[in-house]
Structure 1
Amino acid sequence: MEEEPQELKRLREKARGRLPFQHQGRTVYEWEQGLDEVSVYIQPPPGVTKHHFDIKIQPHHLTVGVRDNPPYLDADLGGVIETDSSFWMIEDGELHIHMSKVKKGETWVSAFKGQGEVDPFTQQELQKKLMLERFQEEHPGFDFSQASFSGMAPDARTFMGGVKYQ
């Protein structure tokens, strides 16, 4: 069996973990998604604590800033979220914003509209990840950790009658 090229391995790993959004060579935030959530990670400036943040989580929009300053991030989301079950916290010195998707199983191509849309290959890898999460949720007694797809992964949201809401 032929070994996978290094660039392809790197792209697959990228799709399984956090996806960075960079501007002018600097990481602005990282993000990742699961079947029913999207998480954004921001490294706060030194000395900034939870009491300094001004964060507004809305169904279509997120604003993150430090009080009495212009927002650091003020953008429309890549999808729609449930505000009641979305929250933010500081964890291990990092700002973590957890947002619950309204459309469970939907594959977001970016955390924020117009900011770092993933390439088609990474989008397909994300879709595979979400599909495996869906299989695991629907069949908790089985281990899908070594499963793979040959060809294109189906849409986790609509495949075989659609995703089940719990």
Structure 2
Amino acid sequence: MADTAKEPTKEEEAAAIVKERAEQEALPYKWSQVLEEVTIVIGVPPGTRSRDLTVDINRTSLVVALKKAPGAPFISGQLYKDIKVDDSTWTLDDQKEITITLAKSNKMEWWPHVVTSAPKVDVKRIQPENSKLSDLDDETRSMVEKMMFDQQQKQLGKPTSDELKKQEILKKFQDQHPEMDFSQAKFS
């Protein structure tokens, strides 16, 4: 079955960006994310103390509200995805701003919104931050380094790490068996 979805025109794309920005600006909080976590910043009345707040961070939901204020909470609802509660934090900064950091359970996924009732952002437009090799775990880092080396070797017309390993094994075998003829040996 053919994909019938058409690419949006530049005008449609621009209109979608303007609409998305307006929806995000209308939220009572600002939020941003990296692959590992979501950060939410909420302005509160000056002089607010932590005892004046309800901040309820659960694995699948979030509620942030003033205890004695009428009206809707700043944020309340089902989170887009599960979080690690023990690695999530909140602080009240200068008695005027709450900063909440939610540690994502799945650190390889962008969130289109914090809570499912909020308007979505187009995650395809997210520009990921550059990561450093030192940020990666040992296994992933060695795999990325090998891929980078192999790519560089191919660009230079030189053998990849696997081909070098095969050549090294053949050389050792030749040294151990000088009586054999390896002139017709081929790798596949």
Bucket of the pairwise TM-score, normalised by the shorter protein: 0.5 to 0.7
Aligned Cα root-mean-square deviation (Å): 3.2
8 Å CA contact 1:42–1:95 kept in 2: the answer is yes
Aligned to 1:133, the other structure's residue is in SS state: coil
CA distance in 2, matches of 1:134, 1:75: 34
| Unaligned ranges ≥5, structure 2 | 1-12, 142-188
Q: How does 1:119-130 map to 2 (within 5 A)?
A: 119=122, 123-126=123-126, 128-129=127-128
Q: How does 1:9-28 map to 2 (within 5 A)?
A: 21-23=24-26, 27-28=27-28
8 Å CA contact 2:29–2:74 kept in 1: the answer is no
Q: How does 1:33-72 map to 2 (within 5 A)?
A: 33-69=33-69, 71-72=73-74
CA distance in 2, matches of 1:78, 1:40: 14
Higher strand share: 1
CA distance in 2, matches of 1:134, 1:124: 22
8 Å CA contact 2:52–2:68 kept in 1: the answer is no
8 Å CA contact 2:42–2:74 kept in 1: the answer is no
Change (3 A) 1:136 1:125: farther
Q: Which amino acid letter does the alignment assign opposite residue 105 of structure 2?
A: V
Aligned to 2:51, the other structure's residue is in SS state: helix
CA distance in 2, matches of 1:136, 1:116: 35
For the pair shown, which has the larger CA radius of gyration, 1 or 2?
2
TM-score (norm 2): 0.53
Q: CA deviation at 1:135?
A: 5.9
TM-score (norm 1): 0.60
CA distance in 2, matches of 1:129, 1:40: 18
Greater relative CO, 1 or 2 (CA 8 Å, sep 6+): 1
Count of aligned pairs: 119
* Residue of structure 2 equivalent to 1:137: 135
Q: CA deviation at 1:110?
A: 0.8
* Residue of structure 2 equivalent to 1:118: 121
